[in-house]
Chain A
């Protein structure tokens, strides 16, 4: 700790910080642009000027940039100094000279850091009376709108895009007063984190293009704290609604999870909520066609079967909340509750879950991933399956070089100097994946191989670390050396990290990663961590409820028994073989599907009940690290749409069953009583009865406008506020805007701080955790002791076959996930289906890039264009996973490529 003097008052602050950090943390309103808590200092904008004095006798002082000056013991500065204040005002006047002052038509208006800082410095009147510099804007793809005239040259965009996210196609061009931030040519911004420019840009140069399609001012949005549903990482989000439409997704800061950022799938996948494929009313099949009916009719119809002789099977879902899955389990009974994932995925998830819950293995938070100092990625193309993990791995390899700079006397926050000192060097990162990975540019070594060979490498690494781990016989070529190198890097690290997951469909890969983690723990590594990514937002949820395998349920069709099925938020055709699902749905007495979106399974249903999406309901999701997080209803959907667990509760009341919950707290209490693994679920967020100064927390900002006019075309009387039985939040601007629970805070605001940077005021130290703690509850912590039980089954080395190829799934950030691809902007970025082949195999098969071939898998031919993928191992072909036009295929699996003979 150090004592510094600000405006002649002593303050005790953390050493190793700069003056801007400590001034903001102390609550001073010091304006800044180029500095960002996640990006560090470069001293580019000259905005955070303060006056520094040599000692208490020094009356003159000198102006310094707070962000570039260490907060060392005894430093004396003045923020409230006339000369410094004037300096800051003048700087903003320069920055504003070419700014178009177009706030009324600018999308950023009302949450603009430039507006806030301009007001803060007191620059109220414009003296510049000359023509302003203007630019041509660029087309940057479906996510980002470009308006360069507003730019104030703070360089945040390129620093994030290039330095933080590893993007290469956004740059800064020209010089002097013609500096231009954009692309070399018009075109789609390729980096998967481009959407963060919307929040990083302090003004309106980069704005959300999808929001522009249905624009609403920030202060007119109704928001609630939410969790992203487009992968298993569980990033915290703030969705915003107006007039019944979901308008945008913003980041919601969670220091332990996503910090300040989101990936583009998470930010732009939301439009499925507004999509035309939504189910808005109950549907009943009559004469072979589904048509809308009243809820009473639908419930009566289902009630007939519930009280009938048919055995009721409940199929849960990894994209439905814990509560909904549990409600289904309560209705059908634990013996007839199925987890709703394919047999292979179930096997992988249960292996991952049991490893993570075993003693001695630490499952890191996303923040901890970014703090690792040696990383070994086994099997996962992270940028495609869990982009935010990839982003943190990128930070880990950068951060682990920071000590190199510090040894030269450069403080860690001095971003430009550190990067200059390390000259592009990076910490140890080893990638072992089926095909080339986007992290390769910062990897120490990258190695592509078939899943079995990846697993063998993992097992070999574990054996190198701990000789008691099972050894791998006859390793080929370079493998023993590589395994030794990786083992050495992990052993000598303070915080080694292994990242793996289910995406290449190999149990051996998941087990090999576990062995590496166990071996590190056995070798005495104190802070070793094992991060598995999970494919869906609640993949671990149904598994923690001990669901049976979906394939067992599908067997019912063959058993000849009389059964009916309730399918919860799940398209079974994405989980299992088409013929098996067809037989199952046809054989059922009645098929009830509760879902928010029409898909192949709802089309085959007898009754469809309209479920709430994440934005229209409440629930809890368990992410890949085992963190349970609550999403709170953002708005009341029109019509009969409600949470699946509510529908299931209503069904329970019509049947002889014991689930009689009225609200979220009832069901959470019941879950905690019944499912020991989820005992903490009620602690995830305050109960619905909680009050703050005897009031609810408003979902609307205090500036929310048009409340009395919003429905005036229907009725001039102000309607009653919707009730919220599930959370202590109100659908109103009234109440106490408490920020005392981060699980109930969707937006941060402080006087003078209307942009996302208002967050500074709610952190104990800027960039650090929230004062009130971070949202979410970890369901398990690493238990004491070591579990030295290694996985023993090591697969033989991959052997390519003469006439066949091993087809493996290849994931795409845009396209592979079921819901986000329904967003038009995400769909635009999704690839068309293809089969990927490497050069040598293509040559041997005499096929060329773009040519159509037939891939025969399990006897079914798929006609696909060839895509040459140089990194793919020989004998392996890749199929894009989960694209809407591809039907379910069991992968990995052996298939045959047949060249088309021209007719």
Chain B
């Protein structure tokens, strides 16, 4: 069930558009803001608020890599896996994170602290390798300095 608060936020967004289906992306973002990820029930609930079928909402949800359809941890690490970062050795950085956190890409640590994902290009080629944790970007990383970065996120 969507809470009344979430429902109101979605409806407020929907009013801004000629057709309320246009608020689908916003609705997904709102649910994720409150719940960190979007579960199947929320997909159905959004569909009924916006007069769509669950299939239509899920088509949008699964298209975007920033909408999570699986549970994620408190912090999401997105390691850039694009060309510049590859040239400058993001794989070493990634291997280190995998070892350090004890999870594979796409998984969440047992304590729910981190989820590890790959991302194609964070737009920081001049300071590769780069990664993002939640809303923050970190550049010029290597095995040595990444530890300090993780410490900011408990």
Contact = CB atoms under 8 A, between A and B. Distances in A.
A171 B56 CA distance: 6
Interface stretch (B3-11, B57-65, B100-108, B129-137): B57-65
B53 A169 contact: yes
Contacts of B62: 173-175, 180
Contacts of A172: 59
A184 interface: yes
Given A423-B19, A424-B19, A184 B55 contact: yes
A171 B40 contact: no
A174 B63 CA distance: 4
Contact of B54 (A174, A180, A184, A424): A184
Nearest to B51: A441
B58 A184 contact: yes
B79 interface: no
Interface string A506-530: 0000000000000000000000000
Contact of B55 (A170, A174, A424): A170
A168 B53 CA distance: 6
Given A175-B65, A184-B43, A168 B19 contact: no
Contacts of B65: 175
A183 B55 contact: yes
Interface in B93-142: none
Contacts of B64: 175
Main secondary structure of the interface of B (DSSP, over half): helix
Interface string A170-200: 1111110000100111000000000000000
A30 B54 CA distance: 38
A171 B58 contact: yes
Contacts of A170: 55
Contacts of A175: 62-65
B106 to A, nearest CB: 13
Contact of B56 (A168, A423, A424): A168
Interface string B34-66: 000000100100000000111110110011110
Contacts of B18: 423
Interface in A402-427: 423-424
Interface in B62-97: 62-65
Interface in B10-33: 18-19
A172 B55 CA distance: 8
A172 B62 CA distance: 9
A287 B54 CA distance: 61
Contact of A173 (B19, B40, B52, B59): B59
B55 A171 contact: yes
A871 B43 CA distance: 26
User: Among B55, B62, B65, which residue has the most Cβ atoms of chain A within 10 A?
Assistant: B55
List of 7 A-B pairs having minimum Cβ-Cβ separation, nearest first: A168-B53, A171-B55, A171-B59, A184-B55, A173-B62, A184-B54, A174-B62
A645 to B, nearest CB: 48
Contacts of B59: 171-173
A169 B55 contact: yes
Given A168-B53, A170-B55, A171-B53, 9 more contacts: A169-B53, A171-B58, A173-B59, A174-B62, A175-B64, A184-B53, A185-B40, A423-B18, A423-B19
Contacts of A173: 58-59, 62-63
Contacts of B53: 168-169, 171, 184
A174 B62 CA distance: 4
Interface residues of A, number: 14
Nearest to B61: A173
A235 B67 CA distance: 45
Nearest to A175: B63
Interface string A540-578: 000000000000000000000000000000000000000
A173 B65 CA distance: 12
Nearest to B22: A423
10 contacts: A170-B55, A171-B53, A173-B62, A173-B63, A174-B62, A184-B54, A184-B55, A185-B54, A423-B18, A423-B19
Contacts of B56: 168, 171
A424 B56 CA distance: 15
Nearest to B19: A424
B108 to A, nearest CB: 20
Contacts of A168: 52-53, 55-56
A660 to B, nearest CB: 61
A180 B58 CA distance: 11
A762 B124 CA distance: 57
Nearest to B57: A184
User: Among B18, B54, B59, B64, which residue has the most Cβ atoms of chain A within 10 A?
Assistant: B59
Nearest to B54: A184
B4 to A, nearest CB: 25
User: Among A172, A174, A184, A185, which residue has the most Cβ atoms of chain B within 10 A?
Assistant: A184
Nearest to A162: B56
Nearest to A174: B62
Nearest to B58: A184
Nearest to B47: A184
Nearest to B53: A168
Nearest to B21: A424
A174 B70 CA distance: 13
A426 B107 CA distance: 46
Contacts of A169: 53, 55
User: Among B43, B52, B53, B65, which residue has the most Cβ atoms of chain A within 10 A?
Assistant: B53
A864 B57 CA distance: 37
A170 B18 CA distance: 25
B64 to A, nearest CB: 8
B121 to A, nearest CB: 13
Contacts of B55: 168-171, 183-184
A306 B9 CA distance: 81
B56 to A, nearest CB: 6
Contacts of A424: 19
B120 to A, nearest CB: 9
B119 to A, nearest CB: 12
Interface string A672-690: 0000000000000000000
Nearest to A172: B59
Contacts of A171: 53, 55-56, 58-59
Contacts of B40: 185
A459 B82 CA distance: 69
Contacts of B19: 423-424
Nearest to A170: B55
A787 to B, nearest CB: 45
A171 B53 CA distance: 10
B115 to A, nearest CB: 18
A173 B58 CA distance: 7
Contacts of A185: 40, 54
A91 to B, nearest CB: 23
B21 to A, nearest CB: 9
User: Among A168, A170, A171, A180, which residue has the most Cβ atoms of chain B within 10 A?
Assistant: A171
Contacts of B52: 168
A424 B20 CA distance: 12
A184 B19 CA distance: 22
A423 B58 CA distance: 21
Nearest to A178: B62
Interface string A421-457: 0011000000000000000000000000000000000
User: Among B18, B54, B62, B65, which residue has the most Cβ atoms of chain A within 10 A?
Assistant: B62
A185 B52 CA distance: 15
A423 B19 CA distance: 9
Interface string A142-186: 000000000000000000000000001111111100001001110
Contacts of A180: 62
A283 B58 CA distance: 57
Contacts of B63: 173-175
Nearest to A158: B59
A401 to B, nearest CB: 15
A168 B48 CA distance: 13
Interface string A799-819: 000000000000000000000
A423 B17 CA distance: 13
A168 B56 CA distance: 7
